[in-house]
Structure 1
Amino acid sequence: AREFSSAAKGESLADSTRIMNGYADVIVMRHFQKGAPHEAAKWASVPIINGGDGWGEHPTQILTDLLTVIRERGRIDGLRWLAVGDMRMRTMHSLGHALTQFDCPVTFVGPAADALFPGSPSMAMPEEYKEDFRRNSLNFSEAEHVEQAIADADVILVEPVVQPDYSKSRDERTGETGMTPANFKITRELLETKAKSDAILLHSLPRMDEIPPDVDSTRWSRYWQEAFYGVVMRMSLLALVLGAME
């Protein structure tokens, strides 16, 4: 919508929100700017659901992940999580915030500066989020390689480390994304030799090369089920905010 709606003509977020108030009973907002849904809520007369805000948060995705874990493992408390990928991504921030509500240790594995190529940025968890996690008593650690943590993991959540900057429009994106280093890849061999037999593997999709296709048919993969549970969870969320269920 950024390229072809009234926003392309310079309409402000406040004005766009006021217009959308009259179009629907709920607004689901995905925005390239961090904090945009929170800001839009100041002018909204209907509920706003954050569908992902730049490098900020993605709460509905993590609600989907939690539902998947409950359905596939029967519980959340007591399970050890391994999160692999670009820790600047909104899903990782929302994961940390969500796990503060449970007894779930989590290990974050993200590339350090220069890890992908000379001059590549640090993709470790930003300090502002780590400070927030500490304030909320999240039991978390960091590792440099998936092999350092995968053996203890009950839930493995993966996101890409090679991807375009989705806070920019398609026309603004430049350059190749490259290939995922082995440190941040979940292969069939790694799962068969290192992972727990009852661990589950999640990915919000789309994937790049961080999970090869031959993993799809293994006992660990749950990302197709996760995609289905995402529909169920979001239907339930809409029903909740519209007052159709409690």
Structure 2
Amino acid sequence: MHWHMHNVDALSWLSEQTTAAFDALVTDPPYSSGGLHAKDRVKDSANNKYLNTPTLYPEFAGENRDQFSYLRWSTLWLAEAYRVLRAGAPVLLFSDWRQLPTMTTALQAAGFVWRGVVAWDKTEANRPQKGRFRQQSEFVVWGSKGPWHDNAGPTYPGVYRVAVNAGGRKLHTTGKPLPLMEALVKVCPPGTVLDPFAGSATTGVAAVRSGRRFVGCEREEAYYEIACERLSKAL
């Protein structure tokens, strides 16, 4: 079997996994972002924070933590991820600009070596605001468990310019385009890519199409079913 999906909470699932079982971590956790005030962080719908049409995708939880609890939660699951990764494993974590300081702190607090930030340029079509800079970038915080696993491979870009719907319409509120994920997983060694927040499994599709194995976890049943369907077709 080239892939496995689990329909459970990421933190509890990670705590039950075998030590040093996975070769890379590539994931897009909930940002708990998109709201500047407390009233924005307690909305019933996560989709209301990000979409003009909230009913377009299934709902997902984990989007209403404040900064302190988000840092604490991120450090907890990253510490478990550190344990289940093999030495040298690369780590790629998506973040937006609001949570970038929090995510870089949590990565290091969990024991990983922070090695940099890759920018995802979503192109000029995203969120124009007159008189202001466009919010057209998200970020990939990258690092490793100890020494980097490859010092002889190619040099990869530090910026990826990929439209949000490149490769087809996204299937998750915050889904990433498949061409972007296919480019990012190239940095992973052969073996198993872990994604504790798999969503619609775009990372998984990219991993198995590259010849790697994939293990994902997704708490929301609707997205778990979408992920399994996509992965079953990916090969």
TM over 0.5: no
Structure with the higher strand share, 1 or 2? 2
Q: Which has the higher contact order (CA 8 A, sep 6+)?
A: 2
| TM-score, scaled to structure 1 | 0.36
Structure with greater helix share of residues: 1
The two structures have a TM-score, normalised by structure 2, of 0.37
Structure of higher CA gyration radius: 1
